[in-house]
Amino acid sequence: MRHGPWQERRFECVDGPVKKVLPGAACKRRLGQAHERPRAPRRPGTKRRDSRMMEAIWAGAPVPLPGSRFRFLSIESDPPMPSPSSFLREAIEMAVQNVTTGQGGPFAALVVRDGEIVGRGTNVVTTLNDPTAHAEVTAIRRACDALDDFELAGCTLYATCEPCPMCLGAAYWARLDRVYYAATQEDAAEAGFDDHHIYEEMAKPPTERQIPMDQALSEEANRPFEAWLDYEDRVAY
């Protein structure tokens, strides 16, 4: 990811048929430091030559470079990176459309890397009869498929609502860099999606949870782990 403004300076050869486009540093070497020669003292009431040159550059006019065979064409900058709000707004529109078209719940999510969307997802629990098909999980699955990787380091998740415990776990397992969300748990609860009790359940000992949890076969439980550790071609995750 590029940090801060990035610019490429474009030059062309004046007396030859071949145009050359070079980054600023390369042109600086090619021109032999011609554009860094000492400036003559400025006369009262006049502008410096480089000031006039810069005015022409920003106006988009080609500018000859003194003592060189090249002239300055333009400065090209990358477009600004979209803001978190813009991605969240897109996700919100997806969630609204998901509801109005009868596809599922009022949730949507995006996975973004370097300013580009690599995974989109909406809540399709009722469409697929899959209770795990939350928007965040769907977006993560599609991003992993698009990037051909099971880790999403360098990516950011944008969700219309604060992730539920399952989606929060998926975000951690996917190694996402960051999560942005719009609505809160409380907002979701008012609409009938209250998962706060799941967080409370997770804090309880297994034997005290609402869904009974009992351990068995503890003497054989480590066999899969032993097989994993013995498998030389395993892919750690």
Are residue 92 and residue 209 in the same domain, yes or no? yes
- Position 67 scores a pLDDT of 60
CATH, residue 179: 3.40.140.10
- Position 25 scores a pLDDT of 46
Are residue 185 and residue 95 in the same domain, yes or no? yes
Domain count, the chain: 2
* Cα 151 to Cα 194: distance, rounded to the nearest angstrom: 29
Note whether residue 218 is domain-resident.
no
- Position 48 scores a pLDDT of 55
Q: Mean pLDDT of residues grouped by 10 in the chain (237 residues)?
A: 46 50 46 47 56 60 60 59 93 98 98 98 98 99 98 98 97 98 97 94 94 93 96 95
Query: What length is written for the chain?
Result: 237
Are residue 130 and residue 44 in the same domain, yes or no? no
CB 125 within 8 A of CB 133: yes
Are residue 128 and residue 30 in the same domain, yes or no? no
Supply the range of the domain harboring residue 62. Answer: 7-77
* Cα 223 to Cα 136: distance, rounded to the nearest angstrom: 33
Are residue 92 and residue 196 in the same domain, yes or no? yes
| Final residue in a domain of this structure, among 29, 61, 77 | 77
- Are β-strands 178-183 and 116-122 bridged in parallel, bridged antiparallel, or unpaired? unpaired
- Position 74 scores a pLDDT of 56
Catalytic residues: 136
Are residue 164 and residue 204 in the same domain, yes or no? yes
Are residue 18 and residue 45 in the same domain, yes or no? yes
Are residue 58 and residue 169 in the same domain, yes or no? no
| Final residue in a domain of this structure, among 56, 77, 98 | 77
Are residue 132 and residue 180 in the same domain, yes or no? yes
C-alpha distances (whole Å) from 200 to each of 56, 135, 194, 211 are 65, 22, 12, 13
pTM beyond 0.75, yes or no = no
